[in-house]
Structure 1
Amino acid sequence: MPLPGESYFLALAPNPKPFVSLGLPFDVSCVHHATNTFHASRIYLIVSRSISHANPAFTALRTALGDKLVGIRHGIRQHVPWPDVLEVTSDLDRLSADLIITLGAGSLTDGAKVATFAAANKAFTLGALDRLHIRWGDDGKTEKKPVTIPTINIPTSLSGGEYNSPGGATDLRNGIKSSFQHPSIGAQLVILDPALTVSTPEKVWLSSGMRAVDHCVEGLTSIGLREGGRGNEKVEGYCVKGLRLLLPNLLVTKNNPGDLETRRSEMLGVIEAFRGLTSGVLPMGASHGIGHQLGPLGVGHGETSCVMLPSVLRWNLKNAAGGEEREWVEERQRKVLDVFWGDATVAEALEQRGLSRETAGAGDVVGAFVAALGLPTTLKEVGIGRDKLEGLAKNTMTDRCIPTNPVAIDNEGQLLEILELALGDGSGAHSAFPLQNAE
């Protein structure tokens, strides 16, 4: 039962989870649902280090949960290393936890997903965990037990992993980030509190917002829309609405971080993005694929979208085959351009960076938007040099998003072309392929 003043709704209907709680202080909502929705008495909390060290929010939640709180973990490293997952898995089993709560950003969300799945399958070693992640030809269900410990996510970024069932975690032995997938994985409840996010570092908030933008853009250009047929209009509508909520409001937040209504709109934009992706089951493309493997190299989750999405759009447009495929890629990228240029606030920011609607391609527009947010636009800016590209391309060829890129990627050489565009050392990172001039 929702409390007075609480907006409580199913995020991705008809999917049975997660529900969203919005409108109350996060600790009030969390204690209410932990007690009355999940009937929990042995709660395990994962809190980000930044919140636990410097934010009264952690103290408020810990106090509110009282003696129901049986364990606390401070932080999970970026891109969710397997050893961190196994530590949480062991804690959940040892403490007989009946609810897990995460308070913080993306890595905590994925860590909880994979750890609850591992706990259900008694996977307490690297070898056992290795047998759980998704592989080609595996539907994610075979001989794997469903999650039994429910999860509440209280996010402080816009990455959106709380609405996405698969969880990603990185095997440090080979540096590959793998996906763990099962219908039972993921949060039952997401609690949104814009006031909580004001303390999120600006770079983290805005770059995670770009991750949400990436979901919408790769959603609008997804090969799933070409092959999906019926229902495309509804799916597109969600992605477009997500962009319209995200783009102008991210620019406002950049200049006025204390505007809570703006932050609320951005959070709702993330939900719209995932409504689009889940309604059409839209596979992502190379921006997500490369981004998954940039993470183990130390690049922040949102920053991967900042540096890769513009170059992927440029490469796709340049390398689309003739005829129907080329027309389709052009039409999809034009849809993206229409949304960016269709908002006066966004259009003004693009024009201030020297772009015009008549000549700028989708990659140029996305890159300019990233720059307007003050975020990195090249691999060089996030510490990735040419010496890392071959290994990155090799690992990326194993990623689940590469076979579903809108333009076929069949070999590492093609990935290296994209990476060269994004490198930023004068080799062509900002080469533009304007839509109307592409050959």
Structure 2
Amino acid sequence: MRNAGSYQYPQMDSVVYGKPAAEALREEAERLGAHRVFLIASRTLNTQTDEIEKIRAGLGDRYAATFDGVPQHTTREVVVEVASQAKQAAADLVVAVGGGSVVDAAKIVLMCMEHDIFEQDGLDGFETTPERRFGAFRNPKVRMIAIPSTLSGGEYNSGALVTDARRKLKQIFNHPMMMPRTIILDPAITRYTPEPLWLGSGTRAMDHGIEAICSIRGNALVDNVCLAGLRYLHDGLLRSRENPDDAQARIDCQLGSWLSAFGLQARVPMGASHAIGHVLGGTCDVPHYFCTAVMMPSVLRYNRPATEQAQRRIAEALGSPGIEASEAFAGFIARLGLPRRLSDVGVREDRFALIGNNAMLSIFTRSNPQPIRAADDVVEILKLAA
């Protein structure tokens, strides 16, 4: 139990659920007085389903344009192009419809529009560092709404992960007003999400909850809400794997993602799983939704000396009281059929030194509950996951 702490409320208005996305977005656009709504959408949703067309139809003459070419890991090259198109379309509201890469793109597009950043190098100097938590951005005049199709939960915080593909380096850009004003949860949007992405992104959402519960700067509200989120996700992911058409299981997973993100909303610092996961994606091209599956058990083992009480509560939330949290999570990953080791996702030991060095650039390495003082400490964790 934490006897001291604080909770910071995020710069957002609402989470809307229980309505079709097209209906909910139309109501939000009307509420916000938006007249030029720019959609950043998943290509699959835009070209292989009618979900984006429903949204366009619902917006009517408020609709401005659609971009559907955001790649995995959200590259600088693409986001500056999207920003240019949104600026030309005179967008007064940006809406992300898709997974974490699409949501991250929308966040940084707001800042590129505000600062007229239409070339990759224009983002230099705005990234977060261990010494600077927020970039020196102005408050954006244009805000965003997120309609997630996966469970990773990045929409519940004000940071965006953007990869400089020239350097194979994923960086965090953050500003409080990059937070979506509204998040719309519609399980119908998720029906088209491939199973490995759905399940893997659910474990990524659990990562947010686990690292918040173990954080050096958590609080009582975050701990208890995140524990509830872990329970929702644990049960919902297993049920949705057994029956992908179980609508209630999908809703439960979405609610679990929301609750697990309460630490992100409150700016509770994450730890080594986030730091290493960002490098695995940006440097080693590991799909973001597999990073937690392969790393979290080893991070929990490394952090156990500093987080024993927290880990007991995590094991209980995972339905495995009385065993180590690392073992409980590893067993859960096995039941989902996801990769369990770094070797399963193509990361060999000859990459560990580079991963360790790049992870030391992350703000989250410094906030890990069990101290990480050098790249060798990161390599120790990687060896546990090899």
Give the TM-score band, short-chain normalised.
over 0.9
Aligned residue for 2:176, secondary structure, equals coil
Aligned to 2:17: 22
Q: CA RMSD in A?
A: 1.8
Does 2:58 match 1:64?
Answer: yes
Aligned to 2:278: 292
- TM-score, normalising length: structure 2: 0.93
Does 2:192 match 1:205?
Answer: no
Q: Trace 1:186-265 onto structure 2 (pairs within 5 A).
A: 186-225=179-218, 232-265=219-252
Identity within the alignment, %: 35
Q: Trace 1:97-176 onto structure 2 (pairs within 5 A).
A: 97-140=91-134, 142=136, 144-176=137-169
Distance 1:241 1:67 in 2: 41
Match of 1:82 among 58, 76, 80: 76
1:404 is displaced (CA, Å) by 0.8
The answer to whether the Cα contact below 8 Å between 1:18 and 1:163 also exists between their aligned partners in 2 is no
Aligned residue for 1:417, secondary structure, equals helix
The answer to whether the Cα contact below 8 Å between 1:93 and 1:119 also exists between their aligned partners in 2 is yes
Match of 1:314 among 290, 293, 301: 301
Deviations 1:199-239 (A, max 9, x none): 111111111110111111111111224xxxxxx33221111
Does 2:268 match 1:282?
Answer: yes
* Cα distance change, pair 139–313 in 1 and its aligned pair in 2 (3 A): closer
Distance 1:234 1:217 in 2: 14
Aligned residue for 1:159, secondary structure, equals coil
Please tell me the residue identity of whatever aligns with 1:294.
L
1:256 is displaced (CA, Å) by 1.1
Deviations 1:165-191 (A, max 9, x none): 111101112222111111211211111
Does 2:301 match 1:305?
Answer: no
Aligned to 1:229: none
Distance 2:254 2:13 in 1: 15
Distance 2:372 2:362 in 1: 12
1:14 is displaced (CA, Å) by 4.2
Aligned to 1:426: none
The answer to whether the Cα contact below 8 Å between 1:153 and 1:191 also exists between their aligned partners in 2 is yes
Distance 2:133 2:357 in 1: 24
The answer to whether the Cα contact below 8 Å between 1:133 and 1:180 also exists between their aligned partners in 2 is yes
Distance 1:141 1:410 in 2: 24
- TM-score, normalising length: structure 1: 0.82
Aligned to 2:337: 374
Aligned to 1:96: 90
The answer to whether the Cα contact below 8 Å between 1:44 and 1:70 also exists between their aligned partners in 2 is yes
The answer to whether the Cα contact below 8 Å between 2:216 and 2:369 also exists between their aligned partners in 1 is yes
Aligned residue for 1:401, secondary structure, equals helix
Aligned length: 379
Deviations 1:372-421 (A, max 9, x none): 11111111111212232221111111011101111111111111111122
* Cα distance change, pair 275–316 in 1 and its aligned pair in 2 (3 A): closer
Match of 1:413 among 345, 356, 376: 376
1:127 is displaced (CA, Å) by 2.2
1:335 is displaced (CA, Å) by 1.9
The answer to whether the Cα contact below 8 Å between 1:287 and 1:308 also exists between their aligned partners in 2 is yes
Please tell me the residue identity of whatever aligns with 2:315.
L
Deviations 1:262-300 (A, max 9, x none): 211211112212224434x32111111000111122212
Distance 2:55 2:265 in 1: 31
The answer to whether the Cα contact below 8 Å between 1:99 and 1:151 also exists between their aligned partners in 2 is yes
Distance 1:254 1:197 in 2: 13
